[in-house]
Amino acid sequence: MAKKPSSGGRQPGGSTRHYGNDNPRAGKPLARDPNTGTYQTGQEQETAVLVSVPPRRQSDAQTNEYLDELAFLIETAGATATRRFIQRLEKPDIRTYVGEGKLAEIKAYVQHEGISMVVFDDDLSPSQLRNLEAELLVKIVDRSLLILDIFALRAKSATARTQVELAQYQYLLPRLTGLWTHLDKQRGGVGMKGPGETEIETDRRVVRDRIAFLKDKLEDLDKQSQTQRKARGGLVRVALVGYTNVGKSTLMNLLGKADVFAENKLFATVDATTRKIVLGQTPFLLSDTVGFIRKLPTRLIESFKSTLDEIREADLLLHVVDISHPGFEEQIQVVNDTLSDIGAADKPTLLVFNKIDQYTPDDQQEDPFGEVREAEDDDSAPRPPLAQLQATYMAKLHDPVVFVSAQQRSNIDELRELIVKRVTALNEQRFPYASQENSGA
Ligand SMILES: Nc1nc2c(ncn2[C@@H]2O[C@H](COP(=O)(O)OP(=O)(O)OP(=O)(O)O)[C@@H](O)[C@H]2O)c(=O)[nH]1
Ligand SMILES: [Mg+2]
């Protein structure tokens, strides 16, 4: 196996070493030692500031919603965001992403508060990364690196781990420019010794070799899973798709009584899981898949090809939406765009609005004094009653949509019925002469 490159704290394959925290449960409340009554701090939690450069037209509500998501990502990766810096610009500064004044402001805060990293809600160019690191003297994390890090924490199967490692090396390659040298030497510590320029050349070669090796390995794994998929026979294949954290795995558990890891963290699922399910008399295969997110780097999508094959090869998509999220309509759009990107745009789809237990239409937000309540933020979209939303979507899609709560198990029977109807129709299309009993065999 090829030697791993020696540069800085950004080695792929080792998950979160640049957060200094390899614990996949990082970010959870600290555990208390029952004997001593003290809290087990283990490693100190890392702190981060978030930086966004929204276009001038973008509303404050929108900017904050995006930063909430970034804060959630950082929390999922095991760190805490302590402050947000926003600078409205036509486009980000080509050299340092933010302007000079804002950069000085961030630097002063970071130094004063002893912040460990600065996180950007976009991808940085290799030179922006280099300049920012030289200026701010702390870890610089961009959106791709953050998402890759979470994927690395979550990936369990050989395929997912290989996919993540490949994406990490592809991210690293153009950034191997000695940028961490000064920092790493200053900090020292295991795994933080910076390479000299000659070592960087060696590193580049090592990284390229490793990329080639991982691509070969993925091809082999891909062949294996293709064979497995063929062995599944002629059952109709249904895939749960949707934005991250909308409740896909919870629904999978409910529908298939499967034990799939679901939790309130982004990208809880990175591996695709498939179960055979029989609802009434109707058998089909149901797959849970990795969630999508806005600004998901194309590279990352490409390296997740084999996981995404589950979606591409599905006969029916259950597009799960978290209706309680203020940005759910944009999330629907992000998912549709990503489906287009991976060549799965025109598949039969059933839209499943989840988390209705957390959805409050505007007119139901009660004021304790019975006064008419002003909207808190003019930017936020109105929240119509569910019946109205349902009518709007059904009219738009010319198809039924279903509103459920996976957590409270509301309307799950209705969802089951709709799935059975769609699967039966697909079976009939496939086996027009077969009888109902053997249509799924
Ligand atoms: N209130 C509420 N919470 C829900 C509902 N369904 C799921 N959740 C919660 O939402 C969180 C995310 O659920 P998951 O099932 O892990 O979501 P996912 O879509 O699989 O997420 P990723 O795998 O990260 O893409 C968990 O904390 C669930 O308990 C629901 O109907 N109502
Ligand atoms: Mg999941």
The pLDDT tens digits for 251-295 are 999 998 756 667 777 767 767 788 888 888 888 999 998 899 998
Q: What's the CA gap between 113 and 106, in Å, rounded?
A: 11
57: left (phi over 0), alpha (psi -120 to 50) or beta: alpha
Q: In the predicted model, is pLDDT for residue 301 greater than 70? A: yes
Match domain 45-209 to its CATH number in 3.40.50.300, 3.40.250.10, 3.40.50.11060, 3.40.640.10: 3.40.50.11060
Interval 424-441 mean pLDDT:
69
Residue ranges per domain, the chain?
Answer: 45-209, 233-365+380-430
For residue 132 the two structure tokens come to: 């920012």
Classify residue 202 by its DSSP letter: H
Listed in sequence order, the residues at least 6 apart from 28 whose beta carbon sits closer than 8 Å to its beta carbon are none
Tell me the C-alpha to C-alpha distance, in Å, between residue 366 and each of 360, 363, 404. 10, 8, 23
Q: Is 161 in the pocket of ligand 1 (CB under 6 A)?
A: no
The pTM of this model reads 0.80
**Average pLDDT value for residue range 53-65:** 92
Residue 103 is given by DSSP the state H
Mean pLDDT (the chain, rounded)? 80
**Residues shown for the chain:** 441
Please report where in the chains the tokens 């019975």 appear, as a residue: 370
Q: How far is Cα 423 from Cα 193, in angstroms, rounded to an integer?
A: 57
Q: With H, G, I as helix, E, B as strand and everything else as coil, classify residue 334.
A: helix
Could you tell me which CATH class the domain 233-365+380-430 is placed in?
alpha beta
**pLDDT given at position 12:** 54
What does the alpha-carbon distance between residue 143 and residue 293 come to, in Å, rounded to a whole number?
Answer: 11
> What digits encode the pLDDT tens for the residues 335-391?
999 999 888 998 999 999 999 999 988 765 544 444 444 444 445 667 888 888 888
Higher pLDDT, 119 or 256: 119
Which pLDDT score, from 0 to 100, does residue 241 have? 96
- β-sheet bridge partners, residue 31: 40
Amino acid at 175: R
Q: Which tokens in the block code for residue 283?
A: 């058998």
Of 400 and 22, the one with more pLDDT:
400
Count CB atoms within 10 A of the CB of residue 107: 16
CB atoms within 10 A of CB 237: 21
Distance 249 CA to ligand 1 centre (A): 7
Residue 405 beta carbon below 6 angstroms from any ligand 1 atom? yes
Return the percentage of the chain with pLDDT > 90, whole number: 43
Mutate to test the pocket of ligand 1, among 243, 249, 304, 322 (most ligand atoms within 8 A of CB): 249
Q: Which two tokens stand for residue 263?
A: 């939790």
Q: Ligand 1: which of 151, 245, 357 to mutate, judged by most atoms within 8 Å of the beta carbon?
A: 245
Name the closest-CA residue to atom 11, ligand 1: 264
> What are the respective helix, strand and coil percentages of the chain, to the nearest 5?
45, 15, 40
* Closest to 161 measured CA to CA, from 214, 110, 125: 214
| Contact status, residue 56 vs residue 88, Cβ threshold 8 Å | yes
Cβ–Cβ < 8 Å for 218, 25:
no
At 217-257, the pLDDT tens digits run: 999 988 887 787 777 678 899 999 999 999 999 999 999 87
| Nearest atom (ligand 1) to Cα of 269 | 23
- CB of 287 closer than 6 angstroms to any ligand 1 atom: no
Q: Distance from the CA of 85 to the center of ligand 1, in angstroms?
A: 29
**361: CA distance to ligand 2 center in Å?**
27
Whole-number pLDDT of residue 423: 94
**Residue among 124, 127, 116, 128 nearest 142 (CA):** 124
Which ligand 1 atom sits nearest the alpha carbon of residue 253? 15
Q: Is 273 in the pocket of ligand 1 (CB under 6 A)?
A: no
Cα 352 to ligand 1 centre (Å):
13
Pairwise pLDDT comparison (421 vs 365), residue with the higher score: 421
- Cα–Cα distance between 383 and 323 in angstroms, integer? 10
User: Is residue 333 very low, low, confident or very high in pLDDT (cuts 50, 70, 90)?
Assistant: very high
> Residue 79: its pLDDT value, please?
92
